[in-house]
Amino acid sequence: MSAIAAYLRRLGIDVPPPPTLDALFLLHHRHLERVPYENLAIMLGRPPSVDAVASLERVGELGRAGYCFHHNGALEVALRELGFDVSRRHGHVWTDEDDRAGTFLNHLVLHVAGLPTLGNPGGEWWVDVGLGDAFREPLPLVVGEHRQDGFGYVIDDVRTDGWSFRHDPTGSFAGIEVSSRPTEPADVLAAHAELSAPGTGRFSRVLVVQRRYAGGTATLRGCLLTHVSLGATVETELATWETWRAALDDLHLPVADIAEDELRGLYDRMWAGHLAWRAT
């Protein structure tokens, strides 16, 4: 079975869809529902490849991708093979205004063109399945607030070389600056090496699993599970191995290929870190 066929099967799509807007929305929905954002392999000391084809194959085979470089890299390959006009952009995720002007490549952005609608006559769309707890549907590259499931996402500037984005206030980050800076495989690989570096990398400190579903978001950070839906935020402390392990299943994270003792060891580390965080 080809990588694209296995990917589509993972999404529950039997026949390759045509490159239409409806198909783009379907792929976006299904990917987010069935393939969570996560850094499990990094936390286990085995950072997965950021090669786009390898990421697509991993989703089809295991149902796991990784973080944004993996998710959007895989989707880019799939969209191109299905006939969409897709290209990548440089993304810089920021959490405070001091970092907004940063230029570090910490997010891979996908741009799809040629699909005009009444509300988006230019036909340009921001497609992104690697943001964890952000938008569930592709965003039109149109300045303004875009509401989905009670969340508000703002594109406040669209330029010839990119755009600016502000996340919903409940989100895990503040915004993204999108530009035309380099996103060649070597650039992504170098950024991945820094982001996943043991002990110092952003994705090597605490387990994060996020799932965006119809109506809300779910985030596991260490041993704290947070659901945001209908304007309400509910936090649950996962104080036992059993509740933590069940949460992985609820977040649709496949772990059948990972030894239980290795997962238990990760839980013990996360619980110790959670107790230290709670004490402060």
Determine whether 223 is an active site residue.
no
Q: What is the dihedral of CA 68, 138, 232, 143, to 10 degrees?
A: 110
Catalytic residue among 128, 133, 167, 274: 128
Tokens in use for 262? 């290795």
Which among 173, 142, 22, 38 has a CA at the least distance from the CA of 84?
Answer: 22
Q: Is 157 helix (H, G, I), strand (E, B) or coil?
A: strand
* C-beta separation of 253 from 36 below 8 A: yes
Determine whether 274 is an active site residue.
no
Distance of alpha carbon 263 from alpha carbon 44, whole angstroms: 8
Catalytic residue among 68, 70, 71, 167: 68
Burial of 78 (0-12, 13-18, 19+ CB in 10 A): buried
* C-beta separation of 188 from 27 below 8 A: no
Report long-range pairs for 260-268 (Cβ below 8 Å, ≥24 apart). Answer: 262/44, 266/43, 266/44, 266/207, 267/223, 267/241
**Which are the contacts of 226, defined by CB distance < 8 A and separation ≥ 6?**
218, 219, 220, 233, 234, 235, 236
The DSSP symbol for 20 reads: S
Catalytic residue among 107, 146, 167, 252: 107
The DSSP symbol for 99 reads: G
β-pairing, 232-237 vs 224-229, is antiparallel
Determine whether 68 is an active site residue.
yes
Catalytic residues: 68, 107, 128
